[in-house]
Amino acid sequence: MVHIVGATNSVFNQFISEIRDVNIQNDSMRFRRNLERMGEIIAYEISKTLSYESSEVTTPLGIANMSLLKDQPVIATILRAGLPLHQGILNYFDRGQNAFISAYRKHHKDGSFDIKVEYLSSPDLNDKILILCDPMLATGASMVLTYKTLLQRGKPRHTHIVSVIASVEGVEYAKKHLPENVTIWCGAVDDELTAHSYIVPGLGDAGDLAYGTKI
């Protein structure tokens, strides 16, 4: 199942417009904060799909019957661009465990590239709810490889893939190569990819905009 959060009118689309805007992108702190805020909104939407149980809470004046989250998810991100988005999700699932994975594109002279994974830190994922986030879902190859790498730490009960901007091609690739117990959450889905697999209109390189250019 694919949910496009920006398909309905809300303040969420204001944040998308700002991370796309070349004039506002010069403010890296604002860029990071907007990613964080979008992570918070998507976390809230994901929370509606999770399991809850009844619990009694003692107040100064009595007992309140509450419906509270049954299981905390594991929140995973692809370094480095995913960190602000990860923090936004963690702000809402603050008792959840966390996983981090390093994946990058290794480019070749002919313009092609391979996806390389160098580092994985993760708790046991068996029968857990996994939220895997990365701001951009371009070709979908990095996300699929990251998911398969995380399976080294166990098989999640359900996985939520979170991206702020995706391409049509990336969403289709993910749907084809990920199992049925995966839900995809996107802020917006753009139609095109460049020859170098950047999303158009997209926003550019999310990692560079958040943390500065790299060599």
Domain CATH for 33: 3.40.50.2020
Element (H, E) at 37: helix 28-47
Strands 199-200 vs 192-193: parallel, antiparallel or unpaired: antiparallel
Q: What is the pLDDT of residue 107?
A: 63
Nearest to 111 by CA among 204, 196, 198: 196
165 part of a folded domain? yes
Residue 19: domain span: 2-50+69-211
55 part of a folded domain? no
Nearest to 142 by CA among 168, 163, 111, 128: 163
Name residues whose C-beta falls within 8 Å of residue 45's C-beta, 6 or more positions apart in sequence: 3, 5, 185
- Hey, what are 39's tokens? 């992570």
82 part of a folded domain? yes
167 part of a folded domain? yes
Structural domain count, the chain: 1
36 part of a folded domain? yes
Q: What is the pLDDT of residue 36?
A: 98
* Interatomic CA distance for residues 64 and 83, integer angstroms: 36
* Interatomic CA distance for residues 61 and 93, integer angstroms: 28
Nearest to 76 by CA among 136, 116, 36, 131: 131
61 part of a folded domain? no
Query: Which residue stretches of the chain have pLDDT < 50?
Result: none
Name residues whose C-beta falls within 8 Å of residue 89's C-beta, 6 or more positions apart in sequence: 39, 40, 42, 43, 75, 131, 133, 162
57 part of a folded domain? no
- Hey, what are 1's tokens? 């199942």
64 part of a folded domain? no
Q: What is the pLDDT of residue 105?
A: 67
